[in-house]
Amino acid sequence: MPLWLDLTIRIVAVLAAFLVLPLIVGQAEHKVMAHMQGRLGPMYAGGFHGWAQLVADGVKFVQKEEVVPRGADRPVFQLVPAIALLPYLLVLLVIPLGPGDLVGQHLDIGLFFVLAVLSVPVMGVLMAAWSSANKYSLLGGVRGGAQLLGYELPFVLAAASVAMAAGTLSLPGIVEAWEPWWLLWQLPALLVFFIAGLAEIKRPPLDTPIADTELVFGYKTEYTGLRFAFLMLSEYVGIVVVAALTTVLFLGGWQGPFGLDDQLGWLWTLLKIAAVCFVIIWMRVTFPRLRVDQLQRLCWLVLVPVALGQLVLTAAVRLVVM
Amino acid sequence: MTVADILLLALGAVAVGAALLVVTTAHVVRAGLYLVLTLGAVAGMYLVLAAELVAWVQVLIYVGAVVVLLLFAVMLTRAPIGASADLDRPAGPAMLIGGGAGLGLAALFIDAYRWTAVEFGEPGRVGVLGEEIFGNWVLPFEVLSVLLLAALIGAIIVSRPDIGARNGKVPH
């Protein structure tokens, strides 16, 4: 296969995943939340159980008027959705779907690349908060900045633990090194990574920057129409990215039960991602939002010490076993 | 000229242009955002020079942490939307120092390398870097960590008035 064709196929595949998976997660959230609360959720759009609800939402957003507040810093305000979305697209590029060549791009430092790129969305939050010229936006943005910077620490430490265990920073390399007993040994890191991931994408119960009952809609308050749709899309891509990273780092990625990993690896990966996405939705329905101080307390007094302890444990086990 | 040359020139132009905007713009927060652009363009230059790890370290530390903290601090104090009239200071001494240092360094580099072609090493693989840092360069690495420790302790003392420097008053 010529290089350009290979490259085109990879980019198109990653773009397709970037556009389709978040919609599936969004629809699943509608239905799962509804059934957990004894409702039916969307039932009309598209006919069968409202499967086209998000398409209908998209059409609605396209028709809406684009409003920029008079006091806003217009170019900065309008740039934000791109900055919120692009990092997640870049991350999807290096997440392996299956063994061998089923990955957008092999990177020797894949994990480091992911962590570096995932530190960019906080820029978008601060830009949106400041440029909106709105008190609620600014409050949400300052909360968001504090939250994202704080939770980056346990996020990185937990990821470092698994990289240390596998002895590589390459994401396919980590999946290859993974063995089922890691589920027990790396469990604290898994929990820390998952919770910090939730905070990084500002999902309930860790959504104080948005907090619709306190801050209208936080830093997203002033956005309308297509730009608002893109901000929402970035939230759902974020769910997919955090679920995919949890899968790849801690749940063994493409490794499955029947020894058919070469053929069925992609299916195992997708199933595991779907399961983690379900848990993320489930947590939103189950837990009330944490207060700002509780949120910081959880980060600095629980997650960071646990992650540091896990690092010590990982180093000790590595020294003894390998 | 190769593609790498053109990319380097373009990224360099972006970096220098954005850096000029950082110091000339009258919008406080936008200056910080232009700084992101400068640092991002420099990261892009590292990528072109096949120093992947350095490029992503640049993104993680400068874009993701340093500038974010800077913006965060500006927003907590005073960051009006629109131009501020009182941002400028007398520019003479700063131009003298900045321009002198920049020109001096540029002259030094140009004189040192002239037109010698430099071979690229292996693309920055993590294993090699790890061995270098913890083998040949372990002393500077440790000294740097002491510097960070000093900064941390300083931050704690500044932010905690109850354990801070004694100024004659009894803490509440």
Q: Following DSSP, what letter does each residue of B47-106 receive, concatenated?
A: HHTT-HHHHHHHIIIIIIIIHHHHHHHHHHH---SS--TT-----HHHHHHHHHHHHHHH
Residue A5 has pLDDT above 80, yes or no: yes
At B167, the pLDDT band (50, 70, 90 cuts) reads low
Of residues B48 and B77, the one with the higher pLDDT is B48
Q: pLDDT (tens digit, 9 = 90+) per residue, A241-267? A: 999 999 999 988 888 777 777 777 788
Average pLDDT over residues A50-68: 86
Instruction: Give residue B38's pLDDT.
Output: 92
Place of tokens 């960070």: B148
Instruction: Give residue A263's pLDDT.
Output: 76
Which chain A residues are within 8 Å of B71, Cβ to Cβ? 123, 126, 130, 145
Verify whether the Cβ–Cβ distance B64 to A120 is below 8 Å.
yes
Identify the closest residue of chain B to A170 by CA–CA distance. Answer: B126
Shortest Cα–Cα distance, B67 to chain A (Å): 9
Instruction: Give residue B121's pLDDT.
Output: 62
Verify whether the Cβ–Cβ distance A131 to B53 is below 8 Å.
no
Shortest Cα–Cα distance, B106 to chain A (Å): 30
The model carries a pTM of 0.85
Which chain A residues are within 8 Å of B125, Cβ to Cβ? 108
Verify whether the Cβ–Cβ distance A149 to B65 is below 8 Å.
yes
Identify the closest residue of chain A to B76 by CA–CA distance. Answer: A142
Average pLDDT over residues A181-191: 88
Instruction: Give residue B18's pLDDT.
Output: 92
In angstroms, the Cα distances linking A105 to A6, A82, A156 are 11, 22, 22
Which chain A residues are within 8 Å of B123, Cβ to Cβ? 108
The set of residues, in sequence order, having a beta carbon less than 8 Å from that of B168 and lying 6+ positions away, is none
Q: Which of residues 46-75 of A touch B (CB under 8 A)?
A: 71-73
A176 touches chain B (CB under 8 A): no
Instruction: Give residue B70's pLDDT.
Output: 85
Verify whether the Cβ–Cβ distance A119 to B67 is below 8 Å.
no
A171 touches chain B (CB under 8 A): no
Shortest Cα–Cα distance, A73 to chain B (Å): 6
Shortest Cα–Cα distance, A131 to chain B (Å): 7
Identify the closest residue of chain B to A141 by CA–CA distance. Answer: B72
- The dihedral formed by the CA atoms of A116, A119, A124 and A127, expressed in degrees to the nearest 10: -110
The set of residues, in sequence order, having a beta carbon less than 8 Å from that of B115 and lying 6+ positions away, is none
Q: What kind of architecture, by CATH, is found in domain B1-80+109-121?
A: Up-down Bundle (1.20)
Q: What is the share, in percent, of chain B residues with pLDDT greater than 90? A: 15
Instruction: Give residue B168's pLDDT.
Output: 54
Mean pLDDT of chain A: 87
Average the pLDDT over each of A109-123, A189-203, A256-270, B130-144 and give the range with the smallest value.
A256-270
B82 touches chain A (CB under 8 A): yes
Instruction: Give residue B123's pLDDT.
Output: 62
Instruction: Give residue B124's pLDDT.
Output: 57
Verify whether the Cβ–Cβ distance B29 to A76 is below 8 Å.
yes
Q: pLDDT (tens digit, 9 = 90+) per residue, A261-300? A: 777 778 888 889 999 999 999 998 999 888 888 899 999 9
Q: What is the share, in percent, of chain A residues with pLDDT greater than 90? A: 20
